[in-house]
Amino acid sequence: MAVRRQTERRTGLLNLDAMLDAAEEVVLCDGIGHLTLDAVARRARLSKSGLLHHFPTKDALMDALVARVVAGWRTGCDAALAEQPPGVGRFPRAVIGHCLGSTERLTDTLRRRTKVLVAAMVHDPSLVEPLRQVKREYMARAKADGLPPGVAEAVLLVSDGLWVDWIFGIREPTKQRLHEIRQALEGWIEDCTRPKKSRPRRRGRPHEGTR
């Protein structure tokens, strides 16, 4: 009986993913304005009643699309954080490792889901709230990480900018580009965490009186 329940649970999750995949296809192929329960049911090859069992309204379906993307972000970030040793700068280092560590995680599926996320937020601005919440959490964790003010936020903003570049095809994040940016950010964090006496002196412009 327990095995049967586990199988049913896994099947249910797979069905939910299939429904959300079908909704994404409708948005990408026909536009967010054509996202209806009927269209998703046809695309998923389900009866409308079967779809309604999980998503009674179009709003519930859109909420689920956003929630799936946000959940993926949380999972990836938490996994990256678990790999970082304790200490100053732990959270920003995790963000760098997660967002700039490799191009392999930048899959077509992730790009498709994020494009649908953007379309959903444009259609219904209230859907941005789950993103605001996770960003607030990330910022709070970053600020509590012991780095000078602004450093952790700058790291998060860099990762956001690279993300936007990639999603909209503005500029592809090649391995070389990610490596260079990662080295620059990690070097900055290391410099911020090094005791002041051991920091390399930076040459500035000579004082007026020394010329």
Whether residue 204 lies inside any domain: the answer is no
The answer to whether the pTM exceeds 0.85 is no
Distance separating alpha carbons of residues 95 and 85, to the nearest angstrom:
13
Whether residue 207 lies inside any domain: the answer is no
Whether residue 93 lies inside any domain: the answer is yes
| Cα-based angle 154, 175, 73 (whole degrees, multiple of 5) | 55
The CATH number that applies at residue 20 is 1.10.10.60
What would the DSSP string read from start to end of 13-25? HHHHHHHHHHHHH
Pair (42, 74) in one structural domain: no
What one-letter code names the amino acid at 138? Y
Distance separating alpha carbons of residues 104 and 83, to the nearest angstrom:
18
Kindly state the tokens that stand for 57: 């309204």
Output the tens digit of pLDDT for each of the chain's 211 residues.
Answer: 443 334 334 444 448 999 999 999 999 999 999 999 999 999 999 889 989 999 999 999 999 999 999 999 899 999 999 999 988 999 999 999 998 888 888 889 999 999 999 999 999 999 999 999 999 999 898 888 899 999 999 999 999 999 999 998 898 889 999 999 999 999 999 999 887 665 555 555 555 444 4
Whether residue 201 lies inside any domain: the answer is no
**Among the listed residues 24, 23, 31, the one whose alpha carbon sits nearest the alpha carbon of residue 123:** 31
Burial class (CB in 10 A: 0-12, 13-18, 19+), 139: middle
> Quick check: helix, strand or coil at residue 5?
helix
Pair (12, 85) in one structural domain: no
Pair (91, 11) in one structural domain: no
What one-letter code names the amino acid at 181? I
Distance separating alpha carbons of residues 72 and 70, to the nearest angstrom:
5
Q: For the chain, how many structural domains are there in total? A: 2
Pair (110, 187) in one structural domain: yes
Whether residue 20 lies inside any domain: the answer is yes
Whether residue 43 lies inside any domain: the answer is yes
Domain boundaries, position 27: 1-56
Pair (40, 96) in one structural domain: no
Question: Where does a domain end: 14, 35, 56?
Answer: 56
Whether residue 76 lies inside any domain: the answer is yes
Whether residue 77 lies inside any domain: the answer is yes
Pair (98, 162) in one structural domain: yes
40 phi-psi bin (left φ>0, alpha ψ -120 to 50, beta other): alpha
- Whether 64 contacts 55, CB under 8 Å: yes
Pair (86, 178) in one structural domain: yes
Q: Which residues of 12-22 are buried (b: 16+ CB within 10 A; e: fewer)?
A: eeebeeebbbb
Distance separating alpha carbons of residues 125 and 200, to the nearest angstrom:
47
Pair (17, 47) in one structural domain: yes
Kindly state the tokens that stand for 67: 């929630």
